[in-house]
Amino acid sequence: GAVVSQHPSRVICKSGTSVKIECRSLDFQATTMFWYRQFPKQSLMLMATSNEGSKATYEQGVEKDKFLINHASLTLSTLTVTSAHPEDSSFYICSATGTGGYTFGSGTRLTVV
């Protein structure tokens, strides 16, 4: 079945630094990828939608300059959290769509100290 690999699974970084999270579709081409954020004890909130080769579409309230999304190929999308602050600490999950429907990555736990 369709598999999406997301890593790192956990990352701790210092405040002010940038962190890159990768999302790869391993056995299918993902025309669209979605990035979600999940706060503790809350649901997943869509941050942005990215299509291969074009700029990402951000949801209202999400800072596009802070959360940089690149979808350079049909199998890879990256989310870079720039100048991270403690309030950016969260669980980030990507989702890729292909012929098999929506497939989610395993998530990345980001802790900013």
Instruction: Pick between residue 13 and residue 104 the one whose CB is nearest to other proteins.
Output: 104
Show Cβ contacts of residue 104 under 8 Å, excluding neighbours closer than 6 positions: 4, 93, 94, 95
Contact letters for other proteins, residues 51-90 (x by CB under 8 A): ----------------------------------------
- Scanning 13-21, 43-51, 63-71, 81-89 for contacts with other proteins by CB under 8 A, the matching segment is 43-51
Which residue(s) pair with 79 in the sheet? 21, 69
By CB atoms closer than 10 A (0-12, 13-18, 19+), residue 72 is: exposed
| DSSP letter assigned to residue 13 | E
Q: Rounded distance, CA 36 to CA 46, Å?
A: 4
Would you count residue 105 as binding other proteins (CB under 8 A)?
Answer: yes
Instruction: Pick between residue 22 and residue 82 the one whose CB is nearest to other proteins.
Output: 22
Interface residue list for other proteins (CB under 8 A): 6, 31-32, 34, 42-46, 49, 91, 93, 95, 97, 101-107, 109
